[in-house]
């Protein structure tokens, strides 16, 4: 199976769809690094530090200023879920299926760009949020869960944050 692409998507908060949602760019999950150098290394090595990550942001684009934009701009934590219908294809069997991908996130609004206002044009309002938690499900199965506040970094059933929490007595 390979992913052909996104068919459609919607964003929800508390079961209510964000009317006018157009698109978003999922955040980058970037580990912090240190450069190791010294005798015997033959140069510099960039080493990711386990359990340490850069802050994550996600821009969300809406077609105009909607009630959903107003709700998302409230200065509080929002639990949202981005539901994606993806088309997957198996080239050997010649079959296609629709996969259900869901990204559950806890976000806090950071910036809002009102977009351009002009006659006979689309007004894209962008709300950029700070991402505090991110879990991804495919067809109902948890694939990845990232909770930097609680030191959880679960990928395909393995929690890579567990040894760090254990070392700290948590």
- pLDDT-derived band at 153 (thresholds 50, 70, 90) equals very high
- Summarize pLDDT for 62-105 with one digit per residue, the tens: 988 888 899 999 999 999 999 999 999 988 988 999 999 999 99
Closest CA to 27 of 1, 73, 58: 58
- Per-domain residue ranges for the chain? 2-27+56-167
Contact yes or no for 132/77 (Cβ under 8 A): yes
What is the torsional sign of CA 64, 67, 71, 73? Answer: positive
Assess if CATH 1.10.287 describes domain 2-27+56-167.
no
What is the reported pTM?
0.89
What integer pLDDT is reported at residue 40 of this predicted model?
73
> Is the model more confident about 22 or about 141?
141
- Summarize pLDDT for 2-48 with one digit per residue, the tens: 888 999 999 999 888 888 888 999 999 999 999 988 777 778 888 99
167's enclosing H/E stretch is helix 162-167
Gap between the Cα atoms of 112 and 103, Å rounded: 22
What integer pLDDT is reported at residue 14 of this predicted model?
85
Contact yes or no for 81/72 (Cβ under 8 A): no
């Amino acid at each position: 199976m390979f992913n052909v692409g996104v068919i459609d998507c919607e964003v929800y908060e508390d079961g209510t769809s964000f009317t006018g949602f157009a698109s978003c760019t999922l955040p980058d999950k970037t580990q912090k690094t240190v450069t190791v150098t010294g005798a015997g290394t033959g140069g510099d090595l960039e080493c990711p530090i386990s359990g340490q990550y850069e802050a994550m942001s996600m821009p969300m684009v809406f077609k105009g200023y909607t009630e959903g934009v107003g709700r998302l701009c409230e200065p509080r934590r929002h639990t949202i879920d981005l539901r994606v219908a993806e088309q997957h294809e198996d080239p050997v069997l010649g079959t296609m299926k629709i996969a259900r991908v869901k990204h559950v996130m806890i976000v806090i609004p950071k910036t809002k760009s009102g977009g351009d206002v002009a006659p006979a044009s689309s007004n894209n309002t962008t709300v950029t949020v700070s991402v505090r938690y991110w879990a991804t499900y495919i067809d109902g199965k948890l694939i990845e869960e990232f909770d930097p506040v609680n030191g959880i970094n679960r990928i395909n059933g393995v929690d890579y944050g567990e040894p760090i929490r254990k070392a700290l007595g948590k």
